[in-house]
A and B are shown apart, each in its own frame.
Chain A
Amino acid sequence: MKILLMGNPNVGKSVVFNRVTGTSVIASNYPGTTVEFTKGSIKLGDRRVEVIDVPGTYTLEPTCKAEQIAVEMLNENADGDVVINVVESTNLERSLNLTLQLLKRKIPTIVALNFWDETKHKGILIDDKKLEQILGVPCVPICAVTGEGVKQLVERVKEAKLSEYDYEDEERWHEVGRIVDQVQNITHRHHTWLERLGDASVRPLTGIPMAAMVMFLAFKVIRFIGEGLIGYVSEPLFEKLWMPVVMKLSAVMGSGGFLHNLVIGQLIDGEIDFGQSFGLLTTGLFVPIGAVLPYVFAFYVVLSFLEDLGFIPRLAVMVDTLMHKLGLHGFAIVPMLLGLGCNVPGALATRILETRREKFIAATLLSIAVPCAALQAMIVGLVGEHGLGYLAIIYGTLLAVWVLLGVIFNKTVKGESPEIFIEIPPYRIPYIRSLAKKIWIRIKWFLKEAIPFVLLGVFIVNILYTFGIIQFVGKITAPVVTRVLGLPQEAVGALIVGFLRKDVAVGMLVPLGLTIKQLVIASVVLAMYFPCVATFTTLVKELGVVDMLKSATIMIVSSLIVGGLLNLVLP
């Protein structure tokens, strides 16, 4: 037996999933958060039953890949499976359209009337008993974020049954209208301040300044939290607590030799330098936890808040005109924003785009010009001390590349780019516990992904140096790396390791003693030249081998052109 959680996009299926299974998936306030199904389980009586969080769909006639996955999940149902149809009570009419389609599939169904609390604020009265009578399946009011009613929902899963309800497909909306007239009563009420704010943020006159302000504040807050955590928490922890431990270990291991250098790294003037020593227990731990984690945390606090608030779709509307120039529409801002945290979820999010052309453009722009938080944290740490102006050159260059390449793609890539069409959810005050949970999921995911790869990266760096491979490749690639990019031969090591982890790659630049001009060029090239292996494998899956090859060629060529130009232009 399986339980499928199905419903329109953004009705809170993932929140219900987290509630009933106790496992954790990302839930946000915009349609299309879930683009893949997630499995969990629940105890019903003395049986363990699988629960599946299915991507949202408006209809069982799919119009995009996420919806297609949803319909396939439904088609694969076996005997004894149950559908929990999650419904947005504040939007009963639209939700019931899918409910009626589901009932026709003759699978035991139970309806969860989510956002029950919000109906009261909005002056909507729904007779859930009557709805249950009409549909012929259990209808349970719930509020998934707070957990109200979820227990009753789980208890009543066993009552899920086939519906006798029958109708003509062409008459579906009439049927929906008829049902809504019988069970729903809307009383007059005033607009809430959240609704006024929502409206104001999509009017050009107020919306554009508001969007600009939000983005500006977002950057300020991220920098404040990130820098604060590094300065007051992570660096002191490493310097005061971890340093004595590894120094002792270094002495025990004889302060040198291959094994020592692998575990502890090179001593610099007899001391360990967490940035430069490049041992597994020094730089290998300091990069992901000491330098990158604070910024990753800061980024996800801000992003998660804006997601749950409902700001993202409104931003999509505001940037739609610009994105059209790049062959995309406004909603393609979602993969880009997620990519600023980590390119992997960014690449997965390209599924919300409909055509192959859009996916190709979005994925290529993402992996060329959208640096992940780990890379940014290292760049900010390394370049920032030379002045904000140099950081501005790096970000400015990447932004210019993003726009310019997009414009070129728009003119040259064949295929269609449809117009934007998205539902705009109401603003909702983020519920602090689900917000904290989401941030925690993302941090856990980062640590699980980052630490092994960073350690592997540090390990490989040591091997490469010990066997003289970096020096060897450096000689071969010297014409490109030194002539075109103006970097020292050893910098090629960073480009090799950058395929594994870009944050480690930036770390490798530290001992090279580069000039600030070289640092700027190396940062830009590292961001652009190729995705890291995690992103690469995701992109191959999402784009297919052919498109990925094209995309990769564009990445390499454009990074050389841009790096070469910077080498010519910068003083």
Chain B
Amino acid sequence: MADTEAFIVSLVQMRPGQKGKIVEINGGYGLTQKLDTLGIGTGKEITKVSGQLMRGPVLLQHNNTQAAVGFGMASRIIVEVHGKDKK
């Protein structure tokens, strides 16, 4: 995916299966801290596994760790993705 454009989206807006790199976490200390315990933070590569209906939790994967985070938290995790379209 060499010549594709980079987009900045939130984890919520990513497609299931899409990969990206976290560029920012717009949460307070709590969220950053919680993600940190799983080794997830700014600069880390993640994959979105799935998102649930009706603003349900989002599943993300980093290395061999999968975690479910609430919709609100997911919308505050900002990710840089590459692709031809935003969504």
Question: Which residues, 20 to 71 on B, are CB-close (under 8 Å) to A?
Answer: 33-34, 36-39, 41, 49-57, 59, 63-71
Which one of B34, B37, B39, B57 lies within 8 Å of A320 (CB-CB)? B57
Question: A419 at the A/B interface (Cβ < 8 Å)?
Answer: yes
Contacts of B83 in A (CB 8 A): none
Alpha-carbon distance A23/B66, docked complex (angstroms): 31
The number of residue pairs between A and B whose CB atoms lie closer than 8 Å in the complex comes to: 94
**A390 → chain B, closest Cβ, in Å?**
34
Q: Max chain A CB contacts within 10 Å: which of B39, B41, B49, B67?
A: B39
Q: A332 to nearest B CB, angstroms?
A: 13
Closest A residue to B44 by beta carbon equals A173
In the complex, which residue of chain A has the Cβ closest to the Cβ of B59? A202
Give the Cβ gap from B39 to chain A, nearest Cβ, in Å.
4
Task: Name the segment of A90-98, A446-454, A468-476 touching the other chain.
Answer: A90-98
Q: Is the CB of B70 within 8 A of A329?
A: yes
Contact B39 A321 (CB under 8 A): no
Is B73 positioned at the interface, with any CB of A under 8 Å from its CB?
yes
Distance between Cα atoms of A418 and B31 in the complex (Å): 11
Bound CA span A58–B33, Å = 10
Q: How far is the CB of A504 from chain B (nearest CB, A)?
A: 41
Contacts of B49 in A (CB 8 A): 199, 202
- Minimum Cβ distance to chain A for residue B29 (Å): 11
Query: Within the complex, which residue of B16, B39, B56 is in contact with A94, where a contact is CB–CB below 8 Å?
Result: B39
Once the chains bind, are A317 and B53 in contact (CB under 8 Å)? no
With beta carbons under 8 angstroms apart, the residue of B41, B57, B64 that contacts A90 is B64
On whether the beta carbons of B52 and A204 are closer than 8 Å, the reply is yes
Nearest CB in chain A to that of B69: its residue: A421
A424: Cβ under 8 A from any B Cβ: yes
Confirm or deny: A327 has a beta carbon within 8 angstroms of a beta carbon on chain B.
no
B38 in complex: contacting residue of A122, A316, A420, A423, CB < 8 Å:
A423
Does the CB pair B39–A93 fall under 8 Å?
A: yes
Are B68 and A420 interface neighbours, CB within 8 A?
yes
Decide yes or no whether A59 CB sits under 8 A from chain B. Answer: yes
A424 with B66: in contact, given A317-B56, A419-B73 (CB under 8 Å)?
Answer: yes
B53 proximity list for chain A (CB < 8 A): 204, 321
A91 and B50 contact, CB distance less than 8 A: no
Residue in contact with A173 in the complex, picked from B16, B39, B68, CB distance below 8 Å: B39
Instruction: Say whether B55 contacts A317, CB under 8 Å.
Output: no
- Indicate which residue in B52, B56, B65, B67 contacts A421 across the interface (CB closer than 8 Å): B67
Known: A203-B16, A203-B50, A330-B57. A97 touches B70 (CB 8 A): no
| A318 is an interface residue with CB less than 8 A from chain B | yes
Is the CB–CB distance between A423 and B70 below 8 Å?
Answer: no
Expressed in whole angstroms, the Cα–Cα distance for A420 and B56 within the complex equals 10
Complex Cα spacing A141 to B48, Å = 31
Question: B39 to A424, Cβ gap below 8 A?
Answer: no
Q: When the two chains form their complex, are residues A420 and B57 in contact, meaning their CB atoms are under 8 A apart? A: yes
Question: How big is chain B's contact interface, by range?
Answer: 20 to 34
Please pick, from B33, B39, B50, B69, the residue contacting A202 in the complex, using a CB distance under 8 A. Answer: B50
Query: Which residues on the A side are within 8 Å of B52 (C-beta)?
Result: 204, 317-318, 320-321
Q: Nearest-CB distance from A378 to chain B (Å)? A: 37
Provide the bound-state CA to CA distance between A173 and B39, in Å. Answer: 7
Q: Is the CB of A320 within 8 A of B56?
A: yes
Q: Is A568 interfacial (CB 8 A cutoff)? A: no
Residue of A nearest to B73 (CB): A419
B39 cross-chain contacts in A, Cβ below 8 A? 93-94, 97, 173, 176
**A7 neighbours in B (Cβ, 8 Å):** none
Q: Which residues of the partner chain B approach A204 to less than 8 Å between Cβ atoms? A: 50-53, 56
Bound complex: CA A330 to CA B57 (Å)? 9
A316-B68 Cα distance, complex, nearest whole Å: 9
Q: Distance (Å) between the CB of B43 and the closest chain A CB? A: 9
Q: Which of A94, A329, A422 has the most CB of B within 10 A?
A: A94
Chain A residues contacting B63 (CB-CB under 8 Å) are: 91, 93-94
Please, what's the 1-or-0 string for A393-436, where 1 marks a CB less than 8 Å from any CB in chain B?
00000000000000000000000001111111110000000000
Whether A419 pairs with B59 at a CB distance below 8 angstroms is: no
Verify if A32 is at the interface (C-beta below 8 Å from B): no
Please pick, from B41, B66, B67, B69, the residue contacting A419 in the complex, using a CB distance under 8 A: B69
Judging by beta carbons under 8 Å apart, are A58 and B41 in contact?
no
Residues in A with CB closer than 8 Å to B71 are: 419
Tell me whether A420 and B50 are in contact in the complex, defined as CB-CB below 8 angstroms, given that A63-B33, A173-B36 are known contacts: no
0/1 string, A63-104, CB within 8 A of B gives 1: 100000000000000000000000000110110010000000
A423 near B65 with CB under 8 A, answer yes
CA distance A58 to B34 in the complex (A): 9
- Is A313 interfacial (CB 8 A cutoff)? yes
0/1 string, B2-24, CB within 8 A of A gives 1: 00000000000000100000000
A59/B37 in contact, CB under 8 A: yes
CA of A63 to CA of B49, assembled, Å: 26
Among residues of B, the one whose C-beta sits closest to the C-beta of A96 is: B39
Bound-state Cα–Cα, A320 to B36, Å: 23
**Minimum CB–CB distance for A418 against chain B, Å:** 8
Distance between Cα atoms of A91 and B40 in the complex (Å): 13
Closest Cβ of chain A: how far from B14's Cβ, in Å? 14
A227 vs chain B, min Cβ distance (A): 36
Most B-side CB within 10 Å, residue of A97, A202, A313:
A202
Contact A94 B50, CB 8 Å, known A320-B70, A421-B70, A423-B66 = no
CA distance A291 to B72 in the complex (A): 47
Q: Cβ of A91 and Cβ of B64 under 8 Å apart?
A: yes
Chain B residues within 8 Å of A, Cβ to Cβ? 16, 33-34, 36-39, 41, 49-57, 59, 63-73
Can you list 29 contacts pairing A with B, beta carbon distance less than 8 Å?
A59-B36, A61-B33, A94-B38, A94-B39, A97-B37, A122-B64, A173-B39, A176-B39, A198-B66, A199-B49, A202-B49, A204-B53, A204-B56, A207-B50, A317-B52, A317-B68, A320-B52, A321-B53, A321-B54, A330-B68, A419-B69, A420-B57, A420-B69, A421-B34, A423-B38, A423-B65, A423-B67, A424-B66, A424-B68
Ranked 3 nearest A-B pairs via Cβ: A419-B70, A58-B37, A424-B66
